[in-house]
Amino acid sequence: MGKTTGFLEIQRKKWPTRPVAERLRDWKEVYLPYPGAELQQQGARCMDCGVPFCHQGCPLGNLIPDWNDLVYRDRWRDAIERLHATNNFPEFTGRLCPAPCEGACVLGINDDPVTIKAVEVSIIEHAFERGWVAPEAPAVRTGKKVAVVGSGPAGLAAAEQLNRAGHSVIVFERADRIGGLLRYGIPEFKMEKRFLDRRLGLMEKAGVVFQTNAHVGVNLPVADLRRDFDALVLAGGACAPRDLSIPGRELGGIHFAMDYLTLSNRRCEGDAIPEDAFISAAGKRVVIIGGGDTGADCLGTVHRQGAVSVHQFELLPRPPDTRAPDNPWPQWPNIFRVSSAHEEGGERVYSVSTQRFLGDGGRVRRLEAVKVDMVRANGRVEFRPVAGSDFGLDVDLVLLAMGFVGPEKPGLLTDLGVRLTERGTVWRDASWMTSVPGAFTCGDMQRGQSLIVWAIAEGRSAARGVDAFLMGRSELPAPLG
C-alpha cells in the first residue's frame, strides 16, 4: 500500500470517453486511454485490504492489490508480470469485463470502488507499448496432441496454457476467423479487433495452430479428432438463441441479435456483404427486445447505422439506483447501469411484454405490447399483465436479444455422446473432463452464456485437467480448481 491515506484523499475518476457526437460517426473504441499520472493516483486509492474481497470477486483470482500498488510506485514491468500470472488476456477483460472485482471492492462499502479495470487495461497496454509482451513458446515439447474446439476466450485460454505446458495444440473454429464472441459478437466500439489479432499473432508465434472453417461434427468428423489427438477440449460456447414465439414472429425484419451483430462486425472487418444479405438499421424504427448487454451492443450498433428511433424493451422492472437491502456488498450490485451505448440515445422501456407483431407485405410494421407486474408466488416469479396498459409501436426492425438457451447440440455434442446437465450444458467432473474419457470442456459450453472472465478462468482450469490427464501431474495454475 504505497499511500496509506490515498483512499481518503483521492476520489474515483471516471474513465474518459470520446464525445457522443464524434464516436457515433465511426466504429472506434468509445473509451480513451486513462491518463498515466492520474491512473497512478487511482492505484493509490487501494487499501491493500487484509482480506481483499476483490480477489473473491474475480474468477481469475487476479492479484489486484499487488498491481494497484506497483502502478502507484511506477513499477509497470513488475505489474504486468503479476497480471499475466493469473490472466492470459488482460487486454480483453480490461476493456470488456463488467468487473465483479469492483463490485466486491471493500472501498465500495461506503465510497466508490477502486478503478481496477482501468488499471488492468493500462498495465497491459503499457507493456505492449514497451515490447514487454513476447510469445511464450515452451522449452520442451511433450509429443502429446490436443484439439481445442472453439476459439472464444475459453478455447484460447486453454490453448495457450496447454501450449505453454509443451503440448501441440490445434484450435478448430467453424467460423472464418478466430475469436468466438470476441470477434463476431462484441462490436468494434467496445473492443477494436486489432487487440484480438495482436494476441492471436503472439499465440501463433508461440506454436498454437489455428484452423478456421473447421466445423467439428459437420465438415470435420468428431471421430477424426478422437483418432488423431490425445485429448479434446470442447469450448464451443452457448449460442443457441432464446426465441419469442408470439403471433407474427415469422415476419421479415425480425432477427436474432447475433445474426445482426455478426453481419455488422463482418462489415467492420472489411468483408463485402451485399445489401440484400445485410441487416441494416439505417432509416428504420428499431425495437430491441432484451435489456441486457447483448441488447446494449445492438443499441450501439443501431445508432452507428443511423436508425431514426430505438426502443429497448425489458421484461424485468427497472433496477434501483443503489443496492437493494437483499443485495448487500460484496454481492454483484444489481443496480441501474448506463453503458456507453445507453449514453448515446434510445429509450429504455421496463416491465414490458411484447404480445404480437403485425405486418404488411410480409414485413413487420408494428408491435403490440403490455406492461407487466413482476410477482413472486409459491417460490416462482410471474409477470402479470397490467389491465389497460396495452400499447402499440410502429417498427421496421426488431432485434431479439433475450439471451441464449445453451450450447448447440447437433453435430459435436451428439456425435461425441457427451452427457448433458439438466440445464442442457455439457456435464463435467472435478477435473473438467466430460463423460467421454479424454474429452474436456470449459467456458459457456459447460457454464451457459456468461462472461469473458469466467471463460478465461475455466479455460485455464480445464487446461490443468488435460495436462494432468496426459502427463499424470500438472504444474499449470488453475483458478477454479
Ligand X SMILES: Cc1cc2nc3c(=O)[nH]c(=O)nc-3n(C[C@H](O)[C@H](O)[C@H](O)COP(=O)(O)OP(=O)(O)OC[C@H]3O[C@@H](n4cnc5c(N)ncnc54)[C@H](O)[C@@H]3O)c2cc1C
Asked if 152 touches ligand X (CB under 6 A), the answer is yes
162, 231, 372, 452: which one contacts ligand X (CB under 6 A)? 452
Asked if 436 touches ligand SF4 (CB under 6 A), the answer is no
Give the nearest distance from C-beta 378 to ligand X in angstroms: 32
Nearer residue to ligand SF4 within complex by CB, 105 or 279: 105
Residue 284 C-alpha cell reads as 428504420
Asked if 215 touches ligand X (CB under 6 A), the answer is yes
Site for ligand SF4 in 60-79 (CB under 6 A): 64-65, 68
Give the nearest distance from C-beta 50 to ligand SF4 in angstroms: 9
Nearer residue to ligand X within complex by CB, 107 or 154: 154
Q: What is the spatial distance between Cα 158 and Cα 172, in angstroms, rounded to a whole number?
A: 13
Give the nearest distance from C-beta 123 to ligand SF4 in angstroms: 14
53, 67, 72, 172: which one contacts ligand X (CB under 6 A)? 172
Between the CA atoms of 382, 386, 390 and 396, what dihedral angle is there, to the nearest 10 degrees?
A: -30
Nearer residue to ligand X within complex by CB, 65 or 153: 153
Give the nearest distance from C-beta 291 to ligand X in angstroms: 13
Asked if 94 touches ligand X (CB under 6 A), the answer is no
How many positions of this chain bind ligand SF4 (CB under 6 A)?
Answer: 15
Site for ligand X in 259-288 (CB under 6 A): 261
Asked if 237 touches ligand X (CB under 6 A), the answer is yes
54, 97, 238, 397: which one contacts ligand SF4 (CB under 6 A)? 54
Give the nearest distance from C-beta 84 to ligand X in angstroms: 19
Nearer residue to ligand X within complex by CB, 289 or 372: 289
Asked if 294 touches ligand X (CB under 6 A), the answer is yes
65 binds, among ligand X, ligand SF4, none (CB under 5 to 8 A by kind): ligand SF4
Q: Which of 395, 472, 465 is nearest to 235 (CA)?
A: 465
Nearer residue to ligand X within complex by CB, 244 or 471: 244
105, 234, 395, 452: which one contacts ligand SF4 (CB under 6 A)? 105
Nearer residue to ligand SF4 within complex by CB, 46 or 398: 46
Residue ranges binding ligand X (CB under 6 A): 96-97, 149-155, 172-175, 180-181, 185-186, 190, 214-217, 235-237, 239, 261, 293-294, 297, 411-412, 443-445, 449-453, 455
What are the residues binding ligand SF4 (CB under 6 A)? 46-49, 52-54, 64-65, 68, 105-107, 114, 116
